[in-house]
Chains A and B, each alone.
Chain A
Amino acid sequence: MTPDIPGAGNSLVDVRSGTSTTWAGLPEVDLPAPAAVVVASSFAALPAVLRHARRGEELLVVSQGRMEQHLREELLGAGFNLVSDDGLEPAGAPRAAEDHRLWLLTSGSTGRPKRIGHTLESLTTVSGEMAPRRWLCPYSPGTYAWWQVVTLGLAVPGQDLVVVDPADLEGWVPAAIEHEVTAASGTPTFWRQTMMAHGDDLARVPLKQISLGGEPVDQAVLDQLTGLFPGARVSWIYASSEVGASIVVHDGRAGFPIEWLDRDVTGRPRLSVVDDELVISSPHHGEGLEGAVRTGDAVVVENGRVLITGRTSSDEINVGGAKVSAGVVRSVLQEHPEVVWAGVRGRKAPLVGKMVVADVVLRSGETSAPETLADLNRWCQERLPDYGVPRRIKLLDAIPAKETLKSDV
């Protein structure tokens, strides 16, 4: 047992290899700081995390799948020694390591991944006593969401981890049943995919805590999960590499209460809306990001709740001068009982500039269903203004998702 790490005795299970151990039982690794550790699996990154927790040496973790040439050159140029299965590639511009520094890469959904500086302390947003849980960790190694689950396992006794790689997600439900996972965190896309493909089996996972984040969280997915797990707490979390975990909502409803806006509470993030964009001052922010940060996430206020609808750069669709939120349209589609997932965007069109169009995955997986399409059209006409009704709906047979488990919504 390592005395300085509270979660050292927590168990760690690697679904891919079947390995079962604890933090204290992980092999020791030798890393030349500052190190960028390129890993082929999520579990393979844990020894590097443990080393950082013990020694505080500068570290960046990245999955092999994200390691394209630009990023490699950038990291080498920034003084990182690259450590991978191929061996060690020394930094192009060696420099002294920065103690206690952890680096995250943003998802890159708004361009190339950016490096955001954190520490184990700034990433550890949950502490204190918690009911024992066995957490599924389905995220891509090195992302903010991955660090959230990993630091929970490190910092809080009784929080075990069952690690599954994004590439192996098809098999997570049987693994979660086998390893008795009681808590799982994933994007709405992750949950939708799972309910669509493994709904009956999913109900056999003994979940007590379900968390959603990483994408706009709509009421339909919260209701579906609550229906499937009536005894579980279903929470959604707003978190990003830049501002950390800033909003946590446990009441089973989409959005957060409008009363939370512009409220100053010591140790808590301050939430504001400026020009329909969420602005956050967070104690969990990354290096150099203190103060108010424009998140780039669009919000709308509806029935006393502040709903996060998507990225400001892509959420607003201008249809002949009338503006509609892609996130609002997506929510309406996803509330339809036959729909498991929807993606909404503006498509160039004559006369009106842009029209609202959607990709939809039906519960049945059908890609030709004229009657359902007609019903969806009526459903939207009853709930949206004329210009917000998707005029073209394409049926897909599966939910598209990237390695970060986010759909391109």
Chain B
Amino acid sequence: MVGLRRNGSLPRMSEVSRDQLRALMGEVLDAQGKSLPDDEGADLQAIGFRSLDFSELALRVEDEIDEELNFDAAGLRQITTVGDVLDLLTEIQRA
């Protein structure tokens, strides 16, 4: 049985996995001459991952799944670590 998403639509044909999200995040940082630490608790500010980088990562995910992400579905929350970014993007894809 196929479950519907929160907005009533069918699930996406493809989803970017957490590992793939990590790889994409690494690419975004790499392009800025920075690197992604293994530790998911790493602080975004400390590693230089800024709003523009987050936005770019979101666009990369959208390009992978060929669909626009709906950030309204995630609600307000604080994103301070690498893990927070991965959690948020995973959750939004399923919203």
User: What string of 1s and 0s marks CB contacts (under 8 Å) between A353-384 and chain B?
Assistant: 00101000000000000000010010000000
Q: Residue of B at shortest CB range from A356?
A: B52
Determine which of B31, B55, B60, B63 lies in contact with A350 in the assembled complex, contact meaning CB atoms within 8 Å.
B55
Is A320 an interface residue when CB atoms closer than 8 A count as contact? yes
On whether the beta carbons of A355 and B60 are closer than 8 Å, the reply is no
Interface size range on B against A? 10 to 19
On whether the beta carbons of B58 and A350 are closer than 8 Å, the reply is yes
Q: Which of B54, B56, B69, B71 has the most CB of A within 10 A?
A: B56
Determine which of B31, B55, B63, B69 lies in contact with A352 in the assembled complex, contact meaning CB atoms within 8 Å.
B55
Pick from A114-122, A310-318, A327-335, A386-394 the stretch touching chain B. Answer: A386-394
Given contacts A348-B68, A350-B69, A350-B71, contact A357 B54 (CB under 8 A): no
Query: Which residues of B in the span 1-48 have a Cβ within 8 Å of any Cβ on A?
Result: 31
Min C-beta distance of A88 to chain B, whole Å: 50
Given contacts A374-B31, A377-B31, contact A349 B55 (CB under 8 A): yes
Is B86 an interface residue when CB atoms closer than 8 A count as contact? no
Is B51 an interface residue when CB atoms closer than 8 A count as contact? yes
10 more CB-based (< 8 A) A-B contacts, given A351-B54, A355-B55? A347-B59, A349-B56, A349-B59, A350-B55, A350-B69, A351-B55, A355-B59, A391-B52, A391-B55, A391-B59
On whether the beta carbons of A351 and B51 are closer than 8 Å, the reply is yes
B-chain residues with CB within 8 Å of residue A320 when the two chains form the complex: 51-52
B-chain residues with CB within 8 Å of residue A319 when the two chains form the complex: 52
B-chain residues with CB within 8 Å of residue A387 when the two chains form the complex: 52
Min C-beta distance of A344 to chain B, whole Å: 15
On whether the beta carbons of A355 and B71 are closer than 8 Å, the reply is no
User: What string of 1s and 0s marks CB contacts (under 8 Å) between A145-165 and chain B?
Assistant: 000000000000000000000
A-chain residues with CB within 8 Å of residue B55 when the two chains form the complex: 349-352, 355, 391
